Structure 1
Amino acid sequence: MTSNQPRPRTRLSLRSISSVHYDSLSSEPPDSDEPSMRTNSISQKRAYITVAVLCYINLLNYMDRYTIAGVLLSIQNYFGISDSTSGLLQTVFICSFMFLAPVFGYLGDRYNRKVIMIVGMVVWIVTTLGSSFVKNSHFWILVLTRALVGTGEASYSTIAPTIIGDLFTGNKRTLMISFFYIFIPVGSGLGYILGATIANATGDWRWALRFSPALGGLGLLLLMFLVPEPPRGASENKGGAAMESTTYIEDVKYLLKNRSFVWSSLGVTAMAFVTGALAFWTPTFLSRAQVTQGLRPPCKEEPCNPIDSYIFGAITVVTGIVGVFLGTFISKKLRDRLPNADPIICAVGMLSSSPCFFIAIFLAATSIPAAYTFIAIGETLLSLNWALLADILLYVVVPTRRATAEALQIMVCHLLGDAGSPYLIGAISDALFKYDPGSPSWDFRRLEYSMLLCPLIGILGGLFFLTTSLYIKEDRKAAELLTSGQAAEPLETTTESV
């Protein structure tokens, strides 16, 4: 071949990439604490401001999601609904969130991500505010509006982490992702606290649903004027070949062959089942426990006593902050010596939190302080996983497929996880109602028995993360090779000449 002829392009399959001996390659990607040179139009200061804005909106997302749980007793009295029907409020929200996530994942890998998030936020603000004006004779409208709220969250939760992934790399990205995901437990906890506080102060639970849309308007303005749209993969592909988008079918096939993605997604699903059920039912469960112990009378009219929402919300905030930073710290210490540290930490978090929740559920009948203590320990252990789960996805999936990967993981984890778990717990509780109808003590016991399903699912999730640890090093290196341009990726090896 003469010197003026172009070199042939070799297209390698993912299987070929996976078979590389990794000991001959660097075990870690280049670790830069600065945004990539390919994002030199986005200053370091603006990159940090972007993360701050995205964290703020993530906080609002989870505040809104769990405001309903914080005022659930009042909603049950206002509409006169059963446990299973109450769980339906969370289920329809998660279902719309889940089914729309793949749509936004497809769009997020191909079109302007900032515009997509802006449209989603507008829908979220309008529908959340509208749900606060529903009358007690139109419960189905509340169900419909809660379903539509999922549109906004699907657009945001699918796309926002990929923007952070395109602004930072290495340990700095892990830290930024930690800040982003710490607002899941913080926002959830504030949702309970603010929801209960506003409902108690106004005497009307509907005012609790009008607070987050007001803050959402500010978030929308910040998103419009302060958040950039960085090039996909710019933080990692330093001087490498530009990556091109592929078809959706190719993206899905790639992800299904990515064993770390598949097994970690199953682990996330189990975690979503546990957190979704416990987050929705714990304040109500502990309130019934106190009625059983004679510490308070049953709630017959709103506003109901919000003390359990306050306590559980505060525990969620504190344990979330401690758990996320502790998980990130342990990961950073172990990552160099143990390439599969992240999924192992997630497995330990799941497996050790399950006994804590099991003990807490049984102790609630005799000691509320003891139950809260074990809930706090369990939530801390579970929160070890939040930032690590996102980081795993970002480093085992190539940049042009991350939004699709986020979307598919969201769909699976909600479809088999928290889309059904609040309703399932309520349905089991309702099925047990017939054995002693009208008894406050049995109202507690039937919910207690149904919630025992959560620790069992948590153990299953831990096993999924242990399986992930077997493949994480290999799949991470395959993604690095593709991203750096050292390998290309269709399904067979071909040579082209021009």
Structure 2
Amino acid sequence: MSQLPAVAAPPHAESNARAGYALLILTLINLVNYLDRYIVASALPGIQKELGINNTQAGLLGTVFIVVFMVASPLGGYLGDRMPRKYLVAGGVLLWSLATGASGLAGTFMTLLLARAVIGIGEAGYGAVAPSIISDLYPRHLRTRVLAFFYIAIPVGAAAGYGLGGWMSSTYSWHAAFFAGGVPGLVLGTMAFFMPEPQRGAMDGPDAQTKMPFRVGLKGLAGNKAFWATTVGYTLMTFSIGGLGYWMPTYMVNTRGMPEGQAGLAFGAVTAVAGLLGTLAGGWLGDRMDRRREGGGLLMSGVGLMLAAPFMYLAVQLESQVASFAVIGVAQFLLFLNSGPINAAIVNCVPPAFRSFAMGLNVLCIHMLGDAISPTLIGRIADLSSLTAAIEVNAVPVLFGGAALLIAAKLYHEAIPRQR
């Protein structure tokens, strides 16, 4: 947390402190966001045993959450462009945290499925608007680094979810894991009510478009080639990350013979270290590449994804568990390298008045064709063949995602003037 003052851009101490407070709260909420998502991955073996569900049904627990989240996100973005965003953040966090706790009370597959769906509604009120708040607190030349700091919460939160879910499930029960996961969000949701509400476009200059009719914004977004090419690459990356994150602990337990708690903790540790280093490196390198050329961060992201694909495939070819985790760590480093640059490119290439909706639409796309379907599809492939084969196939979308981001990098300079 000591790095926050270094990336803060507002000129006055008070503004600096308020921006830092908002960034801190939003980042911690993002951490809890991913903790609550991935508790279920480590708790899955216990859930399957107690509720008697197969791999396809287990994958559906991930899919139903994502489906509800993605469908509700454009609505969250639409509201975020028209009302104080901190209230959407606070309300969303409180709702999903209560639903996480309620997941621990589930005694049947259908009640657990319903609780996971409600979590998706709560997260939709947060996910679409948080990047737009950050973009109004920090200038464009710092956004990649600041958003990278915000997205550090993804690997750390996912790792915490794996670790907490695995430890609580093996020590107590999977029910207790969900109870513990719901508590932090209740605190952070309350604190979010006290965040600053920055003026839209405050860091984009006096000519920035801060008000726009919805139809006008939608027409402009429809013709924004850089936005759509970036979204395609992001979607393919999300498909593979979602599938890998959901099934890798179960693969290590069922196929490689690791103890349930150990698999979750080990995969969580690898995710935390690789994701933290990759996200920080991506923020620093993305800013440097963007200063050299428009779309430089996207260029770096495309190369990173194309390099990650063979490592994802290799991870399940190695007999040694240590070697498998080491290779998957390299793949995750290259995947998380892209968190800051991709999201900075999205907020930079659309007008401030339409950023929340653009983020919400992006969320809809990346999940509708990404991790909304990958847990269930990979589970289905595993039921028909093997989990090893399913994870091997999962490396292919990463390769194509990298190619899409290379195309987006070429189109990026055309979209920048439209943000004004």
TM-score tier by shorter-chain length is over 0.9
- 1:81–1:33: structure 2 CA closer, same or farther, 3 Å change rule? closer
Letter in 1 for 2:34: Y
The match for 1:232 among 167, 186, 200 is 200
C-alpha distance in structure 1 between counterparts of 2:221 and 2:157, whole Å: 30
- 1:396–1:451: structure 2 CA closer, same or farther, 3 Å change rule? same
The match for 2:128 among 140, 155, 158 is 158
Query: Retained in 2: the 8 A contact 1:106–1:404?
Result: yes
C-alpha distance in structure 1 between counterparts of 2:310 and 2:387, whole Å: 18
1:33 to partner: Cα distance:
5.8
C-alpha distance in structure 1 between counterparts of 2:241 and 2:156, whole Å: 14
Letter in 2 for 1:349: G
Which residue in the other structure is 1:44 paired with? 16
Corresponding position: 1:212 with 2:181: yes
Summarize the alignment of residues 347-362 of structure 1 with structure 2, pairs less than 5 Å apart: 347-362=302-317
Query: Retained in 1: the 8 A contact 2:290–2:296?
Result: yes
The match for 1:277 among 243, 253, 259 is 243
Query: Retained in 2: the 8 A contact 1:251–1:404?
Result: no
C-alpha distance in structure 2 between counterparts of 1:381 and 1:187, whole Å: 18
Query: Which of structures 1 and 2 has the bigger CA Rg?
Result: 1
- 1:209–1:33: structure 2 CA closer, same or farther, 3 Å change rule? closer
1:369 to partner: Cα distance:
1.4
C-alpha distance in structure 2 between counterparts of 1:343 and 1:108, whole Å: 26
1:290 to partner: Cα distance:
2.3
C-alpha distance in structure 2 between counterparts of 1:458 and 1:325, whole Å: 21
Which residue in the other structure is 2:211 paired with? 244
Which residue in the other structure is 2:62 paired with? 90
Q: Secondary structure at the match of 1:290?
A: coil
1:71 to partner: Cα distance:
1.3
Corresponding position: 1:387 with 2:340: yes
Q: Secondary structure at the match of 2:255?
A: helix
Query: Retained in 1: the 8 A contact 2:201–2:208?
Result: no
Corresponding position: 1:81 with 2:49: no
Letter in 2 for 1:334: M
C-alpha distance in structure 2 between counterparts of 1:222 and 1:72, whole Å: 31
C-alpha distance in structure 2 between counterparts of 1:241 and 1:209, whole Å: 44
C-alpha distance in structure 2 between counterparts of 1:335 and 1:393, whole Å: 13
In structure 2, list runs of 5 or more residues that go unmatched. Answer: 1-6
Query: Retained in 1: the 8 A contact 2:286–2:340?
Result: no
Higher relative helix content: 2
C-alpha distance in structure 2 between counterparts of 1:178 and 1:73, whole Å: 33
C-alpha distance in structure 1 between counterparts of 2:261 and 2:208, whole Å: 57
The match for 1:265 among 227, 231, 236 is 231
Q: Deviations over 1:14-36 (max 9, x none)?
A: xxxxxxxxxxxxxxxxxx96327
C-alpha distance in structure 2 between counterparts of 1:192 and 1:243, whole Å: 40
Q: Secondary structure at the match of 2:129?
A: helix
Query: Retained in 2: the 8 A contact 1:71–1:306?
Result: no
Which residue in the other structure is 1:329 paired with? 284
* Superposition misfits of 4+ residues, deviation over 6 angstroms: none
Corresponding position: 1:188 with 2:158: yes
Deviates more, 1:112-121 or 1:320-329: 112-121
Query: Retained in 1: the 8 A contact 2:140–2:203?
Result: no
TM-score (norm 1): 0.80
Query: Retained in 1: the 8 A contact 2:144–2:286?
Result: no
Corresponding position: 1:222 with 2:188: no
Letter in 1 for 2:213: T
Which residue in the other structure is 1:441 paired with? none
Letter in 2 for 1:398: P
C-alpha distance in structure 2 between counterparts of 1:289 and 1:134, whole Å: 28
Q: Secondary structure at the match of 2:316?
A: helix
Summarize the alignment of residues 467-482 of structure 1 with structure 2, pairs less than 5 Å apart: 467-479=407-419, 482=420
Which residue in the other structure is 1:21 paired with? none
In structure 1, list runs of 5 or more residues that go unmatched. Answer: 1-31, 297-303, 433-445, 483-498
- 1:470–1:223: structure 2 CA closer, same or farther, 3 Å change rule? same
Q: Deviations over 1:310-363 (max 9, x none)?
A: 110000000011001111222233322232211111111110000001111222
Corresponding position: 1:343 with 2:283: no
Identity of aligned residues (%): 33
The match for 1:406 among 347, 359, 377 is 359
Which residue in the other structure is 1:99 paired with? 71
Q: CA RMSD in A?
A: 1.7
Aligned length, in residue pairs:
414
Query: Retained in 2: the 8 A contact 1:357–1:378?
Result: yes
